[in-house]
């Protein structure tokens, strides 16, 4: 009995010791150069993990502080990879960013000793997601490079294509052609499957593509399987996207634009009024019909943009740029205040300050622009433009100079 108790005590002690070790281990980079990493990778038969970051990138800092310090992450990455941290705006990071076409941060790249991309990921992710990415990179069948080779070798099984799309989603890679290939491999009756609906909803944004046409014509079938709001959102987004393309092309093809309007009107979606209003809003702005623009944008913001802080802020800023009438600017003030009540963001605060200044409420504007500067600092962003605006406000001069 005593012997069993001793074993139990030792087991508990070892378990606690392992947990303590895991808590203290972080992902280790050291000062390894890419050249040294290649030598080590060849010798140790490991992949190279690259954290491609910039010093001003907020998500990069969050990953370093919240995820790289996790013990489980540290143990896995330190054991299986040669870890290298590269600033994409300094030294070898500049040429690395150019060679591998890195445009967003953070980007995570796994290289073999031939400097081929084996796997990749991008953007901030939690500990679980970051570990999953590492395991996919470590396991040959789930590596991006392995799946790319299968695709280039003309493997077109729908199950593989869906798995490949799921991998591409996590790697910030283009996947439109793979989605098109997926729908070519399945019969139309499978367009209502969960997999197909997910792909239609996320990636089919062309109203002329077969899967969208099928969705439009078989609205009731999809509605019996999936939430009506999500189906309506998809139809509205796709038709509006096409309408915006027509509106932005000179000369505007009114016949084609009216065809889109008719399809929306004839559809059974609950958001048809919203869609038509958004199209009119864009049309009146593009054709500089400002009184109609004010009417439609006001109706759209008041009726449909209540929680869309980005749209409210953007519209308020457009009003600042284009209009001088007090009543119009005061309306924009309400949208700006609403956007700030949802998200207290520096650029939103800057919009609010500009509107106040244009209305002659200079003291209030100075207070708000000062807040924008403090927020920008907290967000890790640049403050020079805001500071220049603040100085102009204090001098009482035009902000457009």
Strand partners, 86: 52
> Of 28, 5, 141, 37, whose CA–CA distance to 76 is shortest?
28
Which tokens in the block code for residue 131? 């570990």
Compute φ and ψ for 120, nearest 5 degrees.
-160, 165
Strands 107-111 and 81-87 come out as unpaired
CB 272 within 8 A of CB 265: yes
Secondary structure class of 124 (helix, strand, coil): coil
> Of 110, 184, 112, whose CA–CA distance to 121 is shortest?
110
Compute φ and ψ for 359, nearest 5 degrees.
-85, 0
Strand partners, 81: 47
Please confirm, yes or no, whether 172 is among the known catalytic residues. Answer: no
> Burial letters for 235-251: b for 16+ Cβ neighbours within 10 Å, e otherwise?
bbebbbebbbebbeeee
Distances (CA, A) of 381 to 54, 64, 119, 313, 354: 12, 18, 30, 19, 19
Gap between the Cα atoms of 86 and 385, Å rounded: 28
In angstroms, the first-to-last Cα distance of the chain is 87
Q: Provide the residue count of the chain.
A: 401
Kindly report the number of other CB atoms within 10 A of residue 21's CB atom: 12
Please confirm, yes or no, whether 240 is among the known catalytic residues. Answer: no
Catalytic (active-site) positions? 57, 60
């Amino acid at each position: 009995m005593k012997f069993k108790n001793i074993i139990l005590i030792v087991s508990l002690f070892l378990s606690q010791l392992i947990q303590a070790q895991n808590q203290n281990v972080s992902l280790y980079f050291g000062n390894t150069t890419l050249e040294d990493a290649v030598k080590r990778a060849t010798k140790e038969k490991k992949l190279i993990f690259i954290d491609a970051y910039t010093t001003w990138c907020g998500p990069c800092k969050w990953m370093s502080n919240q995820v790289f310090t996790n013990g489980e992450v540290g143990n896995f990455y330190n054991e299986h990879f040669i870890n290298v941290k590269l600033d994409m705006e300094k030294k070898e990071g500049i040429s690395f960013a150019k060679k591998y076409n890195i445009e967003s941060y953070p980007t995570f790249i796994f290289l073999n000793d031939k400097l081929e991309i084996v796997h990749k990921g991008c953007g901030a992710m939690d500990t679980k997601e970051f570990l999953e990415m590492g395991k996919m990179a470590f396991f040959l069948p789930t590596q991006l490079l392995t799946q790319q080779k299968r695709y280039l070798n003309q493997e077109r099984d729908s199950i593989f294509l869906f798995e490949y799309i799921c991998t591409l989603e996590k790697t910030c890679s283009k996947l439109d052609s793979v989605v098109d290939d997926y729908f070519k491999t399945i019969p139309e009756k499978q367009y209502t499957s969960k997999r197909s609906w997910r792909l239609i909803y996320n990636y089919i944004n062309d109203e002329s593509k077969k899967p969208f046409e099928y969705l439009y014509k078989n609205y009731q079938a999809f509605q019996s399987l999936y939430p009506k709001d999500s189906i309506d959102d998809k139809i509205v987004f796709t038709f509006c996207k096409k309408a915006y393309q027509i509106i932005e092309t000179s000369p505007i093809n009114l016949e084609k634009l009216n065809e889109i309007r008719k399809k929306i009107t004839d559809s059974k979606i609950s958001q048809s009024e919203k869609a038509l209003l958004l199209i009119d809003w864009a049309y009146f702005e593009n054709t500089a019909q400002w009184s109609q623009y004010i009417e439609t944008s006001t109706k759209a913001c008041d009726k449909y943009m209540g929680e869309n802080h980005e749209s409210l802020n953007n519209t308020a800023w457009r009003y600042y740029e284009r209009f001088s009438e007090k009543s119009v600017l005061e309306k924009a003030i309400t949208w700006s205040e609403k956007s700030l009540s949802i998200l207290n963001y520096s650029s939103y605060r800057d919009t609010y300050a500009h509107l106040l200044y244009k209305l002659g409420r200079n003291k209030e504007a100075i207070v708000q622009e000062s807040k924008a500067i403090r927020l920008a600092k907290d967000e890790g962003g640049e403050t020079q433009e805001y500071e220049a605006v603040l100085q102009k406000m204090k001098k009482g001069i035009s902000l457009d100079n």
